[in-house]
Amino acid sequence: MSQASRDSLAQLHTELKATLSAGGVELGAELFAALKVIDDNGALRRAIADPTVEANRRQELIRKVFAAKISANAVSVLQSVAAARWSTEREFGDAVEQMAAHAVVHSTEQDGLAGLKALTQQLLEFNHAVESSHELQRALTDMQAPLSSRVGLALSLLSDAAMETTKVLVRQAVELPRGLKPVDLVRRFADLSAQQQRQWIADVTVARPLQQAQVDRLAKSLSTAFGRELTLNIETDSQLVGGIRIQVGDEVIDSSVATRLNDLNTKLAG
């Protein structure tokens, strides 16, 4: 994916996170279904992804095609994707796929970090089962076999404890791999889930080990600050000199002595 398209994708995820989280599995399934319609219709896909067409016209086309078929929230997400700029038609479809997958992944966050961990693990276990058998790999990619048979086989590889989110993503990888092997698309979905886990883990680096009371206070303060129950991953680094470094997802809080000295040296050198 081009840098411009990656930027559009990142901005979309930020803008639509609340909608995707609220819509959950149902919204994800609707977006996956819409993606199939778009992928199967070249004229529609070209019209929606054409950067020379005004954004409001692309959005209106989305409304006309999908308003009677999917929820208002799903239409709104598609319109947001259509309004953004994509380098290729393929990247437009990739963006819809990612928004759908994000909706499914976000729905597991109702169970916090545990839900995300379970989803990631179940997806990776599916891939391990498939990759350990050449017969399974051939069976899941055999275009001569009925799609229902291939989907049924894939779902049968999941454990009885498999979550609905896992089933939706595995089904999608078999039904519409979009030029990939099913295991490769499942791995992408697992990576999305793993990335989201980072939003629930605070990586804390300190110069000296913390006492349990300090850990408890820090955990409470960070959970309050970020608005969710964070799991602390604490590491000791003697080179930190003093202070503390905290990273939650892409956000970094750095109050270490080493960093402050480095910042000062940079300013002095400038």
User: What are the residue ranges spanned by the domains of the chain?
Assistant: 3-197, 207-269
- Note the pLDDT of residue 261: 46
* Cα 211–chain centre separation: 35
- Note the pLDDT of residue 265: 52
268: pLDDT confidence band, cut at 50, 70 and 90?
Answer: very low
- Using CB atoms within 10 A of its CB, is residue 75 exposed (0-12), middle (13-18) or buried (19+)? buried
Region 251-260 average pLDDT: 71
pLDDT for residue 260 is more than 70: no
- 28: tokens are 């994800």
Region 119-134 average pLDDT: 94
Helix, strand, coil percentages in the chain from 3-state DSSP, rounded to 5: 70, 10, 20
- Note the pLDDT of residue 27: 97
pLDDT digits (tens, 9 = 90+) for 15-39: 998 999 999 999 999 999 999 999 9
266: pLDDT confidence band, cut at 50, 70 and 90?
Answer: low
Q: Which one is predicted more confidently, 20 or 198?
A: 20
- Note the pLDDT of residue 70: 96
All residues at 6 or more sequence positions from 46 whose CB lies less than 8 Å from its CB, including other chains = 89
What pTM does this model have? 0.79
Most confident of 61-75, 213-227, 247-261: 61-75
- Note the pLDDT of residue 252: 86
List the beta bridge partners of residue 235. Answer: 205
pLDDT digits (tens, 9 = 90+) for 54-113: 999 999 999 999 999 999 999 999 999 999 988 899 999 999 999 999 999 999 988 888
